[in-house]
Structure 1
Amino acid sequence: MKRKLYILVAAMALGSVFSCEPIEDRDSLPAITYTEATLNHTEVVSENTLVMTNNDKDVTPYWSVTDAAGTEIGHFNANSSSVTIPFKGTYTVTYTAYTRGGALYTQPKTITIAKTDLSSITTDPKWAMLTNGAAGKTWVLNMANPMGWAGLEYPGTSGDNWNWFPDYASNSWVMENKDWGEMHFDLNEAYNVSVKQTAIVGTSQTNKSGTFVFDIPNNKLVFNGGVEMLYGGDYYADVSNWTSVHVIKITETELELGVVRDQSRTGEGKCQIVFRYKPKP
């Protein structure tokens, strides 16, 4: 009899351990003891640098910095963070404190950058190669060899790094030889970009303007404000993202940008479609 009792007690205990009904203990989450007034954080502007500091040891900080148009130029979660803002104007800094009791949202703060200083970002020569500074630079497709295909890790030295750039003279099927439009980049008081895109069929063109992010360490170029990368040929439907693209090569006279073919209409696998550009004459 005792053995049966022990088995019954053990079964009841296991049933409580593996119960499918969740039990929520709201009392285990501490209350938020901070208020916006008691949080200890600073946002200090020194010329073209914004320095953000969190002095509350038990708080995880999160800052979001946006320009006057509402475009985010960066977000940060280290206790001490900084960002270079090269262009004069007003910017909004939004601080959120993540505590053990939850998130505490604060009122946005407006900061002012008094003057433009391109030297704060253009130490890498790739900036001049892409934009020619405030004066700007316009790129068009290089119709002598306008495009190709490559592995997702191209131009890496290993892995999925194959590539095929067909000779256009013998492979004109890759795209029609026509004016496909142009891309213009400049640093005239903002990260400006405009794209004039020719339709796949015909000669009609659309014009879009916005801003861009040139992430040199990660070889990435991002188009904002509804702008998309200039392309040629009937490839638009094969790619889901024409706004965040891979910078494969950039010199004074050459630019190669890659997008990922991730929705091939013919069932082909993922790869990069690479477009080649030259400065507009």
Structure 2
Amino acid sequence: MKTLKFINILKSAFVATVVLTTACQPDEYELGQVLSKSELKYEVVQDSDDPNAVIIKALNPGTQPYWITPMGRSTKLQDTVRIPFAGDYTFVYGVISRGGVVQADPLVVTITTNNLNYVSDPLWTLLTGGVGNEKVWYLDLNADGESRYFAGPLYFYGTDDSWATVTEGQTVEGDVWNWQPDWKGNSWLMAAGDYGSMTFSLKGNAVITVDHKMLGRQESGTFFLDAAAKKLTITDASPLHDSNRDGHVVNWGDIKLMSLTENTMQLAVLRDKALSGEDPCLLVYNFISKDYYDNWVPDDMPDPEPVLPAGWKDDVSKVIAVTDVITWKLSTSNPIDWANLDGSRMNGWNQPADYPDWLGVVDPSIYEGFSLQINSSTGAVVYTAPDGNVEQGSYTLDDKGFYTFTGINPSFPVVGWANFELTADKQLRILSIEKDGLGNLSGMWVGAKDPVKPEYIAYHLVPSVSGGAGSDPAAIVKGYLCSKTWKIDSDREYDVDAPWAEGRYQGPVIFSDYASWSWNPLPGEQYGAGEVGIDYGTMKFNEDGTVIIKQRVRRFTYEEELGGVTQTLVRRGLPQTGDVLETDEIVTLNGIWVFNLDTWSLKLSVDMLHPWTADYAVADWGNITVFRAEENVLILQVMRSQELSEEDAMPMGYVFVPVE
């Protein structure tokens, strides 16, 4: 495609506009004879009813008119230029023909009246401050990377978006969409900086001056606001914008007004595909007034807060999957520090040698006896002071990580003059969570907020169980197994809510899908729960891998006629009226046990302690799954056999509690 070659030399702005206008025309013109000035025919007349309205008419057929007017350029055969203020105004008529471009001599029109109706619409006042005033606007991004009203300085909209969709919230058909990126998360959009100012003035005429500080140029021109069409036309200047998109727009003066208030304005220009290499869209630049910028006061921003990882509440409520009881102790390496409000540690002390002389020497023997035992199922807490004094109470843990305690009041020295204490509100806040290489909970930092300074005194807690198991899950389970002599919980000493609606963890046996329902029969109600008032014995796991089970065996018989012969049979399940108790004895079973952490399986070489009424229903009482292990409860599951019980196969969870 050829572009026109101009014989006469025009102003650079005029040439650039003509090239952009004609470059995409489908016709290919050859140079011919250029029209002379004497051949140019046009009219510039004032409306007799409104002398501020100047009517311009092009009278050269077969040519493209190109007008330069005080209110901008026009390529119409006939147009009306409305000038609100009295004064001398210059009009230039030109034509583009196959032979080139020619302009007539400038024509000066003197207007002696004012017609402020042209600029009386409230939008003119919002844009300029009103007749006789001017208003300064800034792009909503400064050198500090701060956007004071909008999320960022630049939004993106579909080509059919407009005042109707943005300000009025209308739903329209077509290319309608938007992306409103925040600058802080998308700083690649444009550099932070002082982009200069843009002044719309109605002092004598509609004049705009733009100081493009980031582009290194100043511009001055005229503008006209079509309030009805919500269109802003700027001549010889462009709105403030970034260097990244300076060459992506054909006409920066052809602007859609998307929104306008006393303090804010959004102006849209069309991104050109040929220039940008991207599909067309509206580049919507966001502006704020100088008055708003100068008087802006930052919102009272909330204090920064610790950001805890997903699932943190479960992490600190169960040191391993089977226990709701965690005993916390202070770290022997770095028990104390100070932390910022976001939870980050101020000093980063990790070893005793890191601690400064002004604080003191880390001596774990000072706080060795301290522990804080937390039961997430019951909300109970037991505080043991370093001197052995014990206080019992309760606690809550909210969604922001605040522990609030009642009934305990710990206060003791940790390092030098720094003490372990709660706040005046009896609170500690979780600041961070620590896990080992296997993803197991290995510690947490909790803080007591300073009543004056924006900081926490931070304490480093690590989970622990008796026997020095630390946070090794297998060692913890084994520690709980061996810590007590266990019995079946026929009296329901353990009774807590399950995580599903109306579910319970309670003995002596649990039938459940462990997701939506549970059934917990009492002794005498179902064979799995045993007989009423019967103690079925004890079970003791030893650290050497041996287990001793003292199992109560109660066999009932009954008579039944089979094939004309009366036979004595052993009752399976709960005894019935008329049954005879043939055996009631304690049998001691000596065996070995092995726990596998990968499968949470517990293998016994002898049968697990169980109600004898259920003896027939399980094929292997030594094949066990550990469902829960805590200091005062075990829940061990065995699988009911479909073949033996003549019922569906399902796990039977037996609840064990310590023998007093």
TM range (shorter): 0.5 to 0.7
Determine helix, strand or coil for the equivalent of 2:259.
Answer: strand
* Cross-structure match for 1:250: 260
Rate the CA distance shift 1:251–1:48 in 2: closer, same or farther, 3 A: farther
Partners of 1:149 and 1:163 within 8 A in 2: yes
1:269 equivalent in alignment to 2:279: yes
Q: CA deviation at 1:187?
A: 0.8
Which runs of 5 or more residues in structure 1 are unaligned? Answer: 1-35, 55-61, 96-105
* Cross-structure match for 2:135: 137
Once the two structures are superposed, the pairs formed by residues 1-281 of structure 1 within 5 Å of their partners are 43-45=46-48, 48-50=51-53, 66-67=69-70, 77=78, 84-91=82-89, 111-117=109-115, 119-133=116-130, 134-143=132-141, 144=147, 145-155=152-162, 156=165, 157-199=172-214, 205-225=216-236, 227-232=237-242, 234-263=244-273, 267-280=277-290, 281=294
Q: CA deviation at 1:153?
A: 0.7
Partners of 1:65 and 1:91 within 8 A in 2: no
* Cross-structure match for 1:24: none
Q: Distance in 2 between matches of 1:46 and 1:131?
A: 27
Paired residues, number? 217
Rate the CA distance shift 1:44–1:109 in 2: closer, same or farther, 3 A: farther
Partners of 2:72 and 2:233 within 8 A in 1: no
**TM-score, normalising length: structure 2:** 0.29
Q: CA deviation at 1:107?
A: 10
* Cross-structure match for 2:558: none
Deviations 1:215-262 (A, max 9, x none): 22222222212x112103511122222121221111111111111111
Deviations 1:23-66 (A, max 9, x none): xxxxxxxxxxxxx9xxxx97455575447699xxxxxxx9x794
Determine helix, strand or coil for the equivalent of 2:247.
Answer: helix
Matched AA of 2:88 = T
Q: Distance in 2 between matches of 1:271 and 1:239?
A: 10
* Cross-structure match for 1:98: none
Rate the CA distance shift 1:275–1:52 in 2: closer, same or farther, 3 A: closer
Which runs of 5 or more residues in structure 2 are unaligned? Answer: 1-40, 58-64, 94-103, 142-146, 166-171, 295-660
Partners of 1:254 and 1:278 within 8 A in 2: yes
Partners of 2:269 and 2:283 within 8 A in 1: yes
Rate the CA distance shift 1:229–1:82 in 2: closer, same or farther, 3 A: closer
* Cross-structure match for 2:602: none
Partners of 1:141 and 1:277 within 8 A in 2: yes
Rate the CA distance shift 1:51–1:215 in 2: closer, same or farther, 3 A: closer
Q: CA deviation at 1:75?
A: 6.3
Identity %: 30
Determine helix, strand or coil for the equivalent of 1:256.
Answer: strand
Determine helix, strand or coil for the equivalent of 1:210.
Answer: strand
Partners of 1:94 and 1:107 within 8 A in 2: yes
Matched AA of 2:226 = D
Q: Distance in 1 between matches of 2:50 and 2:284?
A: 39
Q: CA deviation at 1:84?
A: 4.0
State the structure with more CA Rg: 2
Partners of 2:53 and 2:83 within 8 A in 1: yes
Rate the CA distance shift 1:130–1:142 in 2: closer, same or farther, 3 A: same
* Cross-structure match for 1:15: none
Partners of 2:197 and 2:211 within 8 A in 1: yes
Instruction: Considering Cα pairs closer than 8 Å and 6+ residues apart, tell me whether 1 or 2 has the greater RCO.
Output: 1
Q: CA deviation at 1:121?
A: 1.5
* Cross-structure match for 1:5: none
Q: CA deviation at 1:193?
A: 0.3
Q: Distance in 2 between matches of 1:126 and 1:167?
A: 27
Partners of 2:230 and 2:256 within 8 A in 1: yes
Rate the CA distance shift 1:165–1:53 in 2: closer, same or farther, 3 A: closer
Deviations 1:136-191 (A, max 9, x none): 00110112221111110113433211000112222222122211111100111111
Partners of 1:259 and 1:272 within 8 A in 2: yes
Q: CA deviation at 1:263?
A: 3.3
Q: Distance in 1 between matches of 2:56 and 2:134?
A: 35
Q: Which moved more, 1:270-279 or 1:172-181?
A: 172-181
Q: Distance in 2 between matches of 1:198 and 1:221?
A: 23
Q: Distance in 2 between matches of 1:75 and 1:136?
A: 30
Rate the CA distance shift 1:42–1:194 in 2: closer, same or farther, 3 A: closer
Rate the CA distance shift 1:113–1:263 in 2: closer, same or farther, 3 A: same
Q: Distance in 2 between matches of 1:121 and 1:43?
A: 16
Partners of 1:237 and 1:263 within 8 A in 2: no
Determine helix, strand or coil for the equivalent of 2:244.
Answer: coil
Deviations 1:88-117 (A, max 9, x none): 11346799xxxxxxxxxx999764322444
Q: Distance in 2 between matches of 1:259 and 1:170?
A: 24
